[in-house]
């Protein structure tokens, strides 16, 4: 008797905009560096005949679901459970070249948010985990129960841009051990008291812990550099990010790679000999329409940027 995996409902963010940005053409190769539940990947594969796709995701559960969703595309799909920091190596290993477009859809997936035991959301009381993959050693619980107060405050401020980072760190240390999402959320709520804005008080603290546990910002910077070696001329890099720290890394990378000389202004003669490798297609960030944000609230903070290989 065979068991069929149930494929959860999935609403890809900025789907139309991402597919248009990639300019998907027949008989070409595309990389979905964050394949997730396979929504963007399915659209890429269905856009034109004989398209091939290499999909990467660090979350093994996401890969299983993507395999089911994309099974109808057969040998046109290669799915790999790995970190996109190994992007260049994986394309070489699977002889996947030339690459005509690369998509990153960053952040946490609906699968991770809605699975309580993964510990990503304060909407469910569950163990503080926040790992994209169980093969990772560091969990959010280990982090907040072992870091000195000063380091914990710096982490929450740097990665979460949380104005009350010192007070939150102090209360976490005072209430240790803090092992569940609900307990952590309540601690942060007490710090905020009546000073509540549009988002939940714990949002920034949870974001900071998740980014640190999964090395998300550092890994993004590593992966973006590898795209230059992979993309064929006139083909596209498309990145969807969900908060200012991610978007800043993408913006700075594409801006720098679109410039010639990178020497400081006081240099009279260029010493760096930098040659631009990208052309900015979207100088202004692309955001979801009012209709999409209303239909899918999780898309509200999404920001899409496009660059083309020179």
* In the chain, ranges of CATH 3.40.50.150 domains: 15-109+216-309
Fold of 15-109+216-309: Rossmann fold (3.40.50)
- DSSP three-state, residue 180: strand
- Residue span(s) of the chain under CATH 1.10.150.170 come to 137-213
Query: Which are the contacts of 161, defined by CB distance < 8 A and separation ≥ 6?
Result: 204, 244, 245
Q: pLDDT per residue over 48-69, tens digit each?
A: 999 999 999 999 999 999 999 9
Task: Give tens-digit pLDDT for 260-300.
Answer: 888 888 888 888 888 999 999 988 999 999 999 999 998 99
- Residue position matching structure tokens 């914990």: 152
Tell me if 122 sits within 8 A of 205, measured CB to CB. Answer: no
Structure tokens at 38: 């396979």
CATH code assigned to 137-213:
1.10.150.170
pLDDT on residue 264: 85
For tokens 């990665």, the residue is 159
Residues of the chain with pLDDT > 70, as a percent, come to 97
Residue with tokens 């034109």: 48
Three-state DSSP class for residue 128: coil
CA distance 181 to 127: 6
Can you read off the two tokens belonging to residue 100?
């005509």
Residue 49, CA atoms < 13 Å, CB-side half-sphere? 0
Could you read off the pLDDT of 209-255 as tens digits, one per residue? 999 999 999 999 999 999 999 999 999 999 999 999 999 999 999 99
């Amino acid at each position: 008797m065979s068991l069929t995996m149930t494929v959860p409902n999935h609403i890809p963010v900025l789907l139309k905009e991402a597919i248009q940005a990639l300019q998907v053409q027949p008989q070409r190769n595309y990389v979905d560096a964050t394949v997730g539940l396979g929504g963007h990947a399915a659209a890429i594969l269905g856009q034109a005949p004989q398209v091939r796709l290499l999909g990467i995701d660090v979350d093994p559960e996401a890969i299983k679901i993507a395999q089911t969703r994309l099974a109808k595309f057969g040998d046109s799909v290669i799915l790999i459970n790995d970190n996109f920091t190994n992007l260049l190596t994986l394309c070489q290993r699977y002889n996947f070249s030339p690459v005509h477009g690369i998509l990153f859809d960053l952040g946490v997936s609906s699968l991770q948010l809605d699975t309580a035991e993964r510990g990503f959301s304060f909407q469910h009381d569950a163990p503080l985990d926040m790992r994209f993959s169980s093969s990772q050693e560091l969990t959010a619980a280990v982090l907040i129960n072992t870091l000195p107060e000063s380091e914990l405050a710096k982490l929450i401020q740097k990665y979460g841009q949380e104005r009350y980072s010192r007070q939150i760190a102090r209360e976490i240390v005072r209430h240790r051990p803090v092992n569940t999402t609900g307990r952590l959320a309540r601690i942060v709520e007490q710090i905020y008291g009546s000073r509540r804005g549009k988002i939940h008080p714990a949002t920034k603290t949870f974001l900071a812990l998740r980014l640190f546990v999964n090395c998300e910002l550092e890994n993004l910077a590593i992966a973006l550099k590898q795209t230059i070696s992979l993309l064929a001329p006139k083909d596209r890099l498309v990145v969807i990010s969900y908060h200012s720290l991610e978007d800043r890394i993408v913006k700075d990378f594409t801006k720098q790679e679109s410039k010639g000389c990178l020497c400081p202004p006081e240099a009279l003669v260029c010493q760096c000999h930098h040659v631009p490798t990208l052309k900015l297609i979207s100088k202004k960030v692309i955001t979801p329409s009012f209709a999409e944000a209303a239909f899918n609230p999780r898309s509200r903070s999404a920001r899409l940027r496009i660059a083309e290989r020179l």
